Amino acid sequence: MQRMKTDFLVIGAGSGGLSVAAGAAQMGAKVVLLEPGEMGGDCLNYGCVPSKALIASASRAHRMAHAEAFGVADVAPQVDYAAAQAHVAETIARIAPMDSQERFEGFGVTVIREAGRFVSPTEVQAGAHVIAARRIVIATGSSPFVPPIPGLSDVPYLTNETLWQLRERPGHLLVIGGGPIGLEMAQAHRRLGSEVTVIEAQRALGREDPELAAIVLEELRAEGVTILEDTQARTVRGQGGAIEVETADGAVHRGTHLLVAVGRRPNIDGLGLDAAGIETAQAGIAVDEGLRTTNRRVYAIGDVSGGPQFTHVAGYHAGLVVRNALFGLPVKVKPQILPRATYTAPELAQVGLTETEARRIHGDRLEVIRLPYQHNDRAIAMRQSAGLLKVMVVKGRPVGASMAGAQAGELIGLWALALSARLKMSDIAGMVVPYPTIGELNKRLAGTYFSPRLFENETVKKVVGLVQRWLP
Binding-site residue set? 52, 116, 140-142, 177-184, 200, 263, 303
Cα(224)–Cα(385) distance, integer angstroms = 20
**Contact indicator for 223, 195 with CB cutoff of 8 Å:** no
Distances (CA, A) of 374 to 346, 377, 381, 411: 14, 8, 10, 16
Binding residues for FAD: 52, 116, 140-142, 303
**Widest Cα–Cα separation across the chain:** 90
The one-letter amino acid code at 317 reads H
Distances (CA, A) of 274 to 1, 118, 130, 278: 22, 8, 17, 6
Cα(253)–Cα(451) distance, integer angstroms = 51
DSSP assignment of 426-461 equals HHHHTS---SS-TTHHHHHHHHHHHHHHHHS-HHHH
Strand duo 298-300 + 129-138: pairing: parallel
Rounded CA Rg of the chain: 25
Binding residues for NAD(+): 177-184, 200, 263
Q: How many CB atoms lie within 10 A of CB 87?
A: 16
